Amino acid sequence: MMAGSALRRLMAEYKQLTVNPPEGIIAGPVNEENFFEWEALITGPEGTCFEGGIFPAKLVFPPDYPLSPPKMQFICEMFHPNIYADGRVCISILHAPGDDPMGYESSAERWSPVQSVEKILLSVVSMLAEPNDESGANVDAAKMWREDREQFNKIAERLVRKTLGLPPPE
């Protein structure tokens, strides 16, 4: 029964994202046999070091979605203070109200059923633009972001080129 309402809601969200897509974002189930696994493409926000890149990510929904949040993981190489080395995204909107791995988020920022795939992806875009220093999912990236922005930008540029299938700058 659970999975039924989850599927209906996912279908509604998919429809909304298809008919009325937010700029630079595409998301949907790759194979509708499994509606609980989506792939999303996120365009790097303009005016940031990730500008122009197309970053693919995987979204895995729980059977009781939208009561529990999906899990999101980039499937391309990423270097960002709030993204783990394996691509998992660390933002508060993706944390269930119960769990608080970092122990500082207020429950108002966490997952609630009124959130949606679109809101998650928009949050991720703004996370790409403005990393959150406090949650260090990738400590090296956080340090470099603070101390050596030029080097960080170079790495970002290489990643952007990689996602576009272009060779790294000479």
Partner 1 sequence: MPVTLLDRLPLPNLKVYSAGSVLLLSVAMYYAVNVTSDPNWKANTTLQKQETASGIVEGEAAKMVQPAVTAVIAEPPMTDTKNFSDQFLEVMTFMMQEPLCMWTLINMAYCSLALFGFFIQKVVFGRLRVSEAQRVKDKFWNYLFYKFIFVFGVLNVQYMDEVLLWCSWFTLVGFLHLLGQLCKDRFDYLASSPTSARWANTRVLCLLMGILTAASALFMVAIVWGLPAGKDTFAFMAAECLLLGVSALHVLARFTLRAHDADAAGPAAYYTHLVFDAVSLVTETIHVAHMVVYSNVVVSMASLVLLMQLRHLLYAMLARLRRHRLYTALSSHMSRNYPMASAEEVLKHEDNCAICWEPMKEARKLPCSHLFHNSCLCRWVQQDASCPTCRRSLTAGGEARPAEPPLTGPNHLFHFDGSRYVSWLPSFSVEVTRRAGVDLGPGLAAATATAAAARPAPDAAAESTALVEQVQRLFPQYPRALLVTDLAVTRSAHLTIDNILEGRLPPPPPLRPAVAPAPAAPDAGADSPPLSDELDEDDSAENAFSATAAEREAALQRRKAELRAAARARFLRRRPAPAPAPAERSPRS
Given the rule CB under 8 A, which residues bind partner 1? 1, 3-9, 11-15, 18-21, 24, 26, 28-34, 39, 41, 43, 52-54, 64, 66-68, 77, 96-100, 106-108, 112-114, 151, 154-155, 157-158, 160-161, 164-170
Give the pair of three-digit tokens for residue 105.
Answer: 């988020």
**Residue 43 vs 82, nearer CB to partner 1:** 43
Report the nearest approach of partner 1 to the CB of residue 80 (Å).
Answer: 15
Report the nearest approach of partner 1 to the CB of residue 21 (Å).
Answer: 7
Q: Which residue in 76, 60, 161 sits closest to 120, CA to CA?
A: 60
Q: Which residues pair with 74 in a beta bridge?
A: 57
- 169 DSSP assignment: P
**Residue 39 vs 136, nearer CB to partner 1:** 39
The overall longest dimension of the chain from CA atoms, in Å, is 56
Half-sphere exposure of 143 (CA within 13 A, CB side): 3
Task: Single out the catalytic residue among 90, 94, 117, 141.
Answer: 90
Q: Which residue in 118, 65, 120, 64 sits closest to 92, CA to CA?
A: 120
Whether 76 is catalytic is no
**Residue 147 vs 170, nearer CB to partner 1:** 170
Which residues are tagged catalytic? 90
